[in-house]
A and B are shown apart, each in its own frame.
Chain A
Amino acid sequence: MSISFRAGVVSVLILAIFLVAWHIATSGTGAVQQMDPEYAKLMGLNATQGKSAMPGPLQVGATLWQHLTNPFYDNGPNDKGLGIQLAYSIARVGAGYLLAVLVAIPLGFLIGMSQLMSRALDPFIQVLKPISPLAWMPLALYTIKDSSLSAIFVIFICSVWPMLINTAFGVATVRKEWLNVARTLEVGSLKRAFTVILPAAAPTILTGMRISIGIAWLVIVAAEMLVGGTGIGYFVWNEWNNLSITNVINAILVIGIVGMVLDQILARAAKLVTYPE
């Protein structure tokens, strides 16, 4: 049996054990707590009847099925389908990320090709890079005055650094002999950038882009929790306020899967531009 088949079997087993344990842990009824009637009202049946507040896997599965069969309903600002919320988040990540690509790659080329610019810009990069992207949020909200655009800006600022640094590194470390080939062939500098430097640095650039998309997807959830309105981050926060742990778990699952898909897309793209030596 191949190793991947056996690994698959073990994965399924782990999942099964986890689901059964989860089911057992949440299906029992604990002691009914004595509590303030006001608080009991707030907490609902879960607390007052001794049922676990944590939904079981069957419950989560059932709501997930509802979400999957009807992802795009829209019943007003606080009740939108999971698909719509995801679409908002993906659109924001896409916009901020694309903007970051447009800035980081040309700037990375400049830094990678010019010692002067590399030294001149280094202090700024060193200071700006470690700033939590969410720290920019108030400033963005104040200057841009639009919550959705501010979220896009936050995505931009968090995904720009890995791409910028990797592009600069990839460009600066292009093998000298390849550049010499271009020089002896009298290839112009623009053509050299596209036919030698870009393909040579592409794997490094794509690695940066892959790190960036991961960070962007991490940050969008937090950003949307802050700015509210729409998006999967807002959905999580809203469902927490509704005390719908079932929906929160569903959202967590979906966030994980979308993150994985985004990562895989970039991994495939990286594979396309990687060259064996």
Chain B
Amino acid sequence: MTDKLISIEAIAKRYPAPGGGETTVFENLWLAIARGEFVCMIGHSGCGKTTVLNILAGLDTPSEGVVIVDNQAIEGPALDRAVIFQSHALLPWRTVLGNVAYAVGAKHKKWSKTKIKEHAEKFIALVGLKGAEYKRPSELSGGMKQRVGIARALSLEPKMLLMDEPFSALDALTRGTLQDEVRRICLSTGQTVFMITHDVDEAIYLADKIVLMTNGPEAQIAEIVENPLPKERERNQIHKHADYYAVRNHLIDFLVSRSRTFKEEMAGKSWDPMNVPLVRPVASPPSAPEPLRKRA
């Protein structure tokens, strides 16, 4: 058995519909996340990804069901689940150091000012912002702001890192660098991560498992894709991996058509929301060996 850190059990989210009655964003949603796993969730806008993340964070409550963290049902937000917000959500009247130290001080209430500062500085350096400690968020670029958000979350040394499309507002170059750094840091510390993205390449580069969510309303977790790429991967090299296109095509195929038609696809078949299929897309072996392509 894997070491289950998070267990989402039969959660549902419903909102009162404008014309009376209720709209169900999703229901009977089950998902387990093992310790040290990097899980990405992809799905179309409005299917309820943010809602799932907010429920995990404790910022939102499910209409039904529970979320269990380390064998305890969660009740509201907690310091062991740090959130990196899409809009970075830095406090603009505080400096970079002030923002990170605010989090550190909230976690370690008994620490001295110097100890809090040292700890905060360590994480500011970790995200490559050494020298910008005394800048205000308004003086930083979008990428730097998001780095501060990451430093703030990491400085809590949380059990679980929750990220809601953390890089979607950034330009491609900055996004790439930040993905590299998040990957490096999370890998080295064995951080458990739940991240929402709509970028297929981002998911393939970062995730161990990719959760596919169908379109809302009444969205479902269709399946969980196990990333066939080795844990050691490099951004510039992954497309050369034999299985890269298999997993990429599988994800794109899901987003383009299956996310919409999944209910029809499952009609008549047995499909258990408690135990959705775990698939591992790999390159199909060549039908006939090609003799000319012998490798040295």
5 contacts between A and B (CB under 8 A): A178-B89, A184-B83, A185-B77, A185-B107, A196-B91
Q: Are B91 and A178 in contact (CB under 8 A)?
A: yes
* Most-contacted residue by chain A among B59, B76, B138 (CB, 10 A): B59
A181 near B81 with CB under 8 A, answer no
Which residues of B sit under 8 angstroms from A264, Cβ to Cβ?
A: none
Q: Which residue of B lies closest to A274 (CB)?
A: B93
Per-residue 0/1 for B169-211: is the Cβ within 8 Å of any A Cβ (1 yes, 0 no)? Answer: 0000000000000000000000000000000000000000000
Does B87 contact A275, Cβ atoms closer than 8 Å?
no
- Contact residues in A for B137 (Cβ distance below 8 Å): 277
B136 lies within 8 A of A184 (CB): no
B126-143 near A? 1/0 per residue, CB < 8 Å? 000000000011100000
Apart from A184-B79, A200-B91, A277-B138, what 20 extra A-B contacts exist at CB < 8 Å? A177-B85, A177-B89, A178-B91, A180-B59, A181-B89, A183-B58, A183-B76, A184-B57, A184-B58, A184-B59, A184-B77, A184-B83, A186-B78, A186-B106, A199-B93, A200-B93, A275-B93, A276-B92, A276-B138, A277-B137
Interface centre among A175, A180, A181, A187 (most CB of B within 10 A): A181
Q: Is B103 an interface residue (CB 8 A)?
A: yes
A195 in the interface (beta carbon within 8 A): yes
- State which of A183, A186, A199, A276 has its C-beta within 8 Å of the C-beta of B91: A199
Determine whether the beta carbon of A180 is less than 8 Å from that of B89. yes
Residue of A nearest to B138 (CB): A276
Minimum Cβ distance to chain A for residue B68 (Å) = 18
Q: Is B245 an interface residue (CB 8 A)?
A: no
Chain B residues with Cβ below 8 Å from A187 are 106
What residue in chain A is nearest B137 (Cβ atoms)?
Answer: A277
Closest residue of chain B to A177 (Cβ to Cβ) is B89
Say yes or no: A180 contacts B102, CB within 8 Å: no
Among A183, A199, A200, A276, contact of B77 (Cβ-Cβ < 8 Å): A183
Determine how close the nearest CB of chain B comes to the CB of A1; give it in whole angstroms: 32
B51 to chain A minimum Cβ distance, whole angstroms, is 14
CA distance A130 to B9 in the complex (A): 55
What band does the interface of chain B fall in when counting residues whose beta carbon is under 8 Å from A? 20 to 34
Please pick, from B79, B136, B138, the residue contacting A185 in the complex, using a CB distance under 8 A: B79
**Contact of B82 with A177 in the complex, beta carbons under 8 Å:** no
With most chain A CB atoms within 10 A of its CB, the pick from B85, B89, B138 is: B89
Query: Which residue from chain B places its CB closest to the CB of A276 in the assembled complex?
Result: B138
How many residue-residue contacts, CB under 8 A, span A and B? 56
**Do A180 and B138 touch (CB < 8 A)?**
no
User: With A178-B89, A178-B91, A199-B91 known to touch, is A184 a contact of B82 (CB < 8 Å)?
Assistant: yes
Complex CA gap A184/B156 in Å reads 11
**Could you tell me how many residues of chain A have their Cβ less than 8 Å away from some Cβ of chain B?**
18
Contact A183 B92 (CB under 8 A): no
In the bound complex, CA of A96 to CA of B149 (Å): 44
Within 8 A of A (CB), among B89-117: 89, 91-93, 102-103, 106-107
Interfacial residues, chain A to chain B (CB-CB below 8 A): 175, 177-178, 180-181, 183-187, 195-196, 199-200, 273, 275-277
Q: Is the CB of B102 within 8 A of A185?
A: yes
Expressed in whole angstroms, the Cα–Cα distance for A180 and B87 within the complex equals 12
Contacts of B156 in A (CB 8 A): 185
Task: Please indicate the chain B residues that have their CB under 8 angstroms from the CB of A199 in the complex.
Answer: 91, 93
Query: Which B residues are in CB contact (< 8 Å) with A273?
Result: 93
CB-based closest 9 A-B pairs: A177-B89, A185-B106, A276-B138, A275-B93, A184-B77, A275-B92, A183-B77, A199-B93, A184-B83
Q: When chains A and B are docked, how far (Å) is the Cα of A177 from the Cα of B78?
A: 16
**Cα separation A177 to B57 with both chains bound (whole Å):** 13
- Distance in Å: Cβ of A187 to nearest Cβ of chain B: 5
B37 to chain A, nearest CB (A): 21
Question: Contacts A184-B82, A185-B103, A275-B92; is A177 near B77 (CB within 8 Å)?
Answer: no
Residues of B within 8 A of A175 (CB): 89
B206 to chain A, nearest CB (A): 22
Given contacts A184-B57, A184-B83, A185-B79, contact A276 B89 (CB under 8 A): no
Of all chain B residues, the one with the shortest Cβ separation from A203 is: B93
* In the bound complex, CA of A186 to CA of B81 (Å): 11
CA distance A177 to B149 in the complex (A): 12
Which positions 35-81 of chain B face chain A at CB distance < 8 Å? 57-59, 76-79, 81
Give complex CA distance A196, B89 in Å.
Answer: 12
Residues of A within 8 Å of B76, CB to CB, are 183
Q: Are A177 and B107 in contact (CB under 8 A)?
A: no
B57 near A276 (CB under 8 angstroms)?
A: no
| A177-B89, A277-B138 known; A183 vs B59 contact (CB < 8 Å) | yes
Chain B residue at minimal CB-CB distance from A195: B102
